[in-house]
């Protein structure tokens, strides 16, 4: 028996290492795909749209199909790809996982990438959109179902501890992700059969965006923040009960939005944001030294500041219910949440964890990390400040600030993509050390 154990252990360890490497290759593919969607169909198209809007002094001149394609590329092409990649990578960390689901994972990557690309092309070009848009929805849904089934198959082992709050929240947001993709397929099939344009009706599109942002992106970030911020920022352990309340209120806000009870929805989102800040202790002093090795030392402050933008976004949402007459305050509210909170959190946490997930690499440049975040916050500030002033016709020079904000944000996104791209192009840290030690003096 002792001989059998000694023989099995090396095989088990080799299998674990092989699974880890396969998962690193996969998450790298998802990250690169996400970066491409972020930089080209997402941000570049968004800047192009905004430049056209500022020329005409109003959003009416821009095709809503273009705007919706931009939003889809940002939410699903960029953030969605990151979520799927990290999710598949996490499977190798579960005790019950004996082997990495390589076939399902790579099939999911192909289907997801193709689906998001077709959704963008169908919205921008309008070519054969009655076929392309429903097909894109089916491909995305099939990709996520493969991911969802892979996750469900790997349950905690018998006798394992109960799931922590952060894991429950991430799982709940994953279920909402699946619901969102089903709704996306229904909407696009209905559009292809009944409507005469690829543009979703404005109200339905805004309700779907609200579901994606407050049902998927924001709770997913809260869940992972509950897992990582005590480690990275040295914060106290999160309050599970308060965080659950924040997530429940965000769901109430989504339901209220779908029922067109916008005042109720905006108040729910505002309270939800404050409860999340309190639950995660984001603005409280650290009880342990933060871990800032190989990242910019101001990393904890960047993370804290993202929650300022989250609260600002919810405040603007409440103001929009009262005063918005042209979409400017609504747009500023949405931008504060999606860029100031979601994108900035990805810039901060992503440059902290993704190099490790993609083969234990070291971030290429902490200076680029700093400037990407500073420029992103600066561009977001100018956009959120000037959009209500311009759209509400309160201050004409604000129309000239809008394109400046777009270029600044594009620069920030480019720096982020370059930094991660160069990081992934480097050999892993252990190979770099080995090469350095073998180099002749």
| Cα separation, 215 vs 175, whole angstroms | 9
User: What's the whole-number mean pLDDT along residues 24-28?
Assistant: 91
- Asked whether residue 374 is domain-assigned, the answer is no
- pLDDT value at residue 433: 53
pTM (two decimals)? 0.92
Q: What φ, ψ does residue 402 adopt, rounded to 5°?
A: -55, -50
Distance, CA of 300 to chain centre: 19
- Asked whether residue 394 is domain-assigned, the answer is no
Q: What φ, ψ does residue 422 adopt, rounded to 5°?
A: -65, -35
Measured CA to CA in angstroms, residue 132 lies from 192, 204, 315 at distances of: 9, 20, 38
Q: Percent of the chain at pLDDT above 90?
A: 70
User: 39: Cβ–Cβ under 8 A, 6 or more apart, which residues?
Assistant: 413, 414, 417
Measured CA to CA in angstroms, residue 28 lies from 35, 36, 94 at distances of: 10, 12, 19
Q: How many domains does the chain have?
A: 1
Q: Are 34 and 82 in contact (CB under 8 A)?
A: yes
Residue 325 is given by DSSP the state S
- Asked whether residue 79 is domain-assigned, the answer is yes
User: Which position has the higher pLDDT, 441 or 374?
Assistant: 374
Query: Nearest-5° angle of CA 243, CA 224, CA 182?
Result: 90
Could you tell me the sign of the dihedral formed by the alpha carbons of 375, 311, 326, 76, in that order? positive
| Cα separation, 72 vs 209, whole angstroms | 9
Q: Indicate if the pLDDT at residue 211 is higher than 50.
A: yes
Q: How many CB atoms lie within 10 A of CB 424?
A: 17
- Asked whether residue 300 is domain-assigned, the answer is no
- Scanning the structure block, which residue is given the tokens 């894991």? 167
| Cα separation, 347 vs 304, whole angstroms | 13
- pLDDT-derived band at 14, boundaries 50, 70, 90: low
SS3 of residue 120 by DSSP: helix
- Asked whether residue 127 is domain-assigned, the answer is yes
Distance, CA of 304 to chain centre: 17
| Cα separation, 346 vs 180, whole angstroms | 21
| Cα separation, 253 vs 259, whole angstroms | 10
Residue 417 is given by DSSP the state H
| Cα separation, 356 vs 49, whole angstroms | 35
| Cα separation, 290 vs 312, whole angstroms | 26
- Asked whether residue 310 is domain-assigned, the answer is no
| Cα separation, 252 vs 267, whole angstroms | 10
- Asked whether residue 335 is domain-assigned, the answer is no
Q: Are 198 and 123 in contact (CB under 8 A)?
A: yes
- Asked whether residue 77 is domain-assigned, the answer is yes
DSSP string, 70-97: HHHIIIIIIIIHHHHHHHHHHHTTSTT-
| Cα separation, 83 vs 27, whole angstroms | 10
- pLDDT value at residue 99: 62
- pLDDT value at residue 429: 66
- pLDDT-derived band at 439, boundaries 50, 70, 90: very low
- pLDDT-derived band at 10, boundaries 50, 70, 90: low
Q: Which domain holds residue 137?
A: 17-56+63-156+177-200
Tens digit of each residue's pLDDT (9 = 90 or more) over 134-185: 999 999 999 999 998 887 765 555 445 578 999 999 999 999 999 999 999 9
| Cα separation, 157 vs 311, whole angstroms | 39
- pLDDT-derived band at 57, boundaries 50, 70, 90: low
Structure tokens at 137: 């929805």
Structure tokens at 263: 């005042």
User: Which position has the higher pLDDT, 332 or 159?
Assistant: 332
């Amino acid at each position: 028996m002792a001989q059998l154990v000694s023989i099995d252990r090396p095989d088990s360890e080799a299998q674990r290492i092989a699974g880890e490497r396969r998962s690193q290759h996969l998450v790298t593919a998802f990250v690169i795909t996400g970066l491409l969607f972020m930089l080209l169909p997402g941000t570049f198209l968004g800047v192009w749209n905004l430049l056209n809007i500022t020329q005409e002094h109003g959003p009416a001149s821009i095709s809503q199909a273009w705007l919706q394609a931009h939003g889809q590329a940002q939410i699903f092409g960029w953030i969605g790809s990151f979520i799927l990649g990290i999710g598949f990578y996490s499977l190798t960390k579960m005790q019950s996982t004996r082997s990495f689901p390589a076939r399902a994972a790579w099939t999911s990557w192909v289907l997801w990438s193709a689906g998001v690309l077709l959704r963008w092309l169908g919205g921008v070009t309008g070519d054969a959109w009655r076929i392309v848009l429903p097909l894109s929805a089916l491909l995305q849904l099939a990709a996520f179902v493969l991911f969802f089934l892979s996750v469900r198959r790997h349950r905690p082992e018998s006798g394992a501890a109960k799931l922590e709050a952060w894991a429950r929240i991430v799982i709940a947001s994953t279920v909402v992700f699946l619901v969102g993709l089903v709704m996306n397929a229904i909407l696009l099939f209905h559009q292809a059969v009944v409507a005469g344009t690829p543009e979703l009706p404005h109200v339905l599109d805004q309700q779907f965006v609200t579901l994606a942002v407050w049902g998927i992106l924001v709770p997913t970030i809260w869940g992972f923040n509950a897992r990582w911020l005590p480690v990275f920022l040295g914060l106290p352990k999160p309050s599970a009960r308060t965080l659950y309340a924040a997530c429940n209120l965000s769901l109430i806000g989504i339901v209220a939005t779908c029922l067109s009870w916008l005042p109720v929805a905006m108040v729910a989102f505002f309270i939800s944001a404050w409860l999340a800040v309190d639950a995660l202790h984001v603005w409280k002093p650290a009880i342990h030294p933060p871990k800032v090795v190989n990242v910019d030392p101001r990393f904890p402050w960047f993370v804290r500041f993202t929650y300022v933008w989250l609260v600002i976004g919810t405040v603007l949402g409440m103001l929009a219910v009262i005063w918005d007459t042209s979409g400017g305050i609504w747009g500023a509210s949405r931008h504060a949440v999606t860029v100031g909170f979601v994108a900035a959190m990805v810039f901060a946490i992503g440059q902290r964890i993704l190099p490790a997930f993609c083969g234990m690499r070291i971030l290429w440049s902490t200076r680029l990390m700093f400037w990407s975040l500073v420029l992103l916050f600066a561009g977001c500030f100018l956009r959120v400040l000037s959009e209500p002033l311009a759209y509400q016709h309160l201050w004409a020079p604000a129309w000239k600030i809008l394109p400046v904000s777009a270029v600044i944000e594009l620069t920030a996104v480019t720096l982020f993509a370059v930094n991660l791209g160069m990081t992934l192009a480097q050999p892993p840290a252990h190979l770099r050390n080995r090469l350095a030690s073998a180099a002749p003096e």
